[in-house]
Amino acid sequence: MAGFLALSLVVAGCGNTKEGNGSNGEGGSGVQIGLVTDVTGVNDKAFSQSAWEALQRVKTDSGADIKYLQSKTDADFVPNLTQFVKSGYDLTWGTGFVMADAVRKVAKENPNAKLAIVDNEVDEPNVQSVLFSEQEGSFLVGVIAGLMTETGKVGFVGGAEIPVIAKFEAGFKAGVKEANPDAEIIVNYTGAFDKPDLGKTAAATIYNEGADIIFHAASATGAGVFNEAKDRYNNGQRVWVIGVDRDQSLEYGDDITLTSMMKRVDEAVYRVSQDLIEGNFGGGTTLQLGLKENGVGIAETSSKNVPEEVLKEVEVYKQRIIDGEIVITVN
């Protein structure tokens, strides 16, 4: 998931920033939108990739010029955000919980600039914040895991222990226990969002303890969870992974992807960017997206591996959450 807690004194301009240019050249709308990612970049098959794909849609639909800068460490956040702002970009995105301080600093220093952030709240008049109720979507995949586990054990692999990942964990655990009170839940945090090798090791540990389903919320680290599941599947062991942020069966296949918890970062980034283009930028406000707003949910391809009766149960729980009958507590 987006965010990385690496500490470094190296700043952008010293080989620490990767650029991607999506400019459409002549004939564009004249609007420029920049995206600053954390270390995972726009090919993480999760959070940041969804944000970049949203801007590509904006480019197609409106002709806006788009570009991204990938941060190598957290020390790059402010320089990268500032680069877009000083270049006159109309909107600068920061994707990830840990970018809040950097977005706040740049926003205060550049009150005429417009910025937006996903996964954290920055209370500045020139910043649009986007938050998700990750615990609600995670509850639903927890229900699936609780109803479908054959061993009575399931696992959760997280990246860094930050509040947004705690929401994934809390929702998943609550859903599992609601569906299967006797199920055991094994939790393993890797401490990183860009280390597939750590994800593979964490998954191996959980599978070795008897779990047959793992839900990950670890961005690119989650690739290692899928790799471990694939290795075991190829050796005749029936294990599953629940993807995160986007439909990860499209990248990793239906043979090991049970379902995915959809966090529609793409829709949020597209919506806010289009609002800006149309002159309706929501600076100083926070957009909160949960099940009711269709901001989270489960992948449409879930029916490939999840039985119809289980999906019906999921729909019942979804409505109960929307109606306020179930409130998921996040510690």
Helix, strand, or coil here: 17?
strand
Dihedrals phi, psi of 128, to nearest 5 degrees: -100, 125
Residue 265: per-residue pLDDT = 94
Over residues 172-200, the mean pLDDT reads 97
Rounded Cα distance between 266 and 53, Å, is 7
Q: What percentage of the chain has pLDDT greater than the value 70? A: 91
pLDDT at 2 over 60: no
- Asked if the model's pLDDT at residue 126 lies above 70, the reply is yes
Is pLDDT of 58 > 50? yes
Q: List the beta bridge partners of residue 86.
A: none
Q: What is the pLDDT of residue 23?
A: 41
Buried b (16+ CB within 10 A) or exposed e, 286-297: ebebbbeeebbb
Select the more confidently predicted residue: 11 or 39: 39
> Using one digit for the tens of pLDDT, what is the confidence trace for 169-179?
999 999 999 99
Q: Which one has a higher pLDDT value, 23 or 256? A: 256
Longest Cα separation, the chain: 61
Position 230 scores a pLDDT of 98
Residue type, position 77, single letter:
F
User: Does the pLDDT of residue 14 top 60, yes or no?
Assistant: no
Mean pLDDT of all residues in 152-171: 97
What structural domains and CATH numbers belong to the chain? 17-132+265-289 (3.40.50.2300), 134-262+299-322 (3.40.50.2300)
Q: Residue 19: what pLDDT?
A: 64
pLDDT reading at 59 higher than 80: yes
Which pLDDT score is estimated for 16? 44
Average pLDDT over residues 214-219: 97
The arithmetic mean of pLDDT across residues 267-277, rounded, is: 96
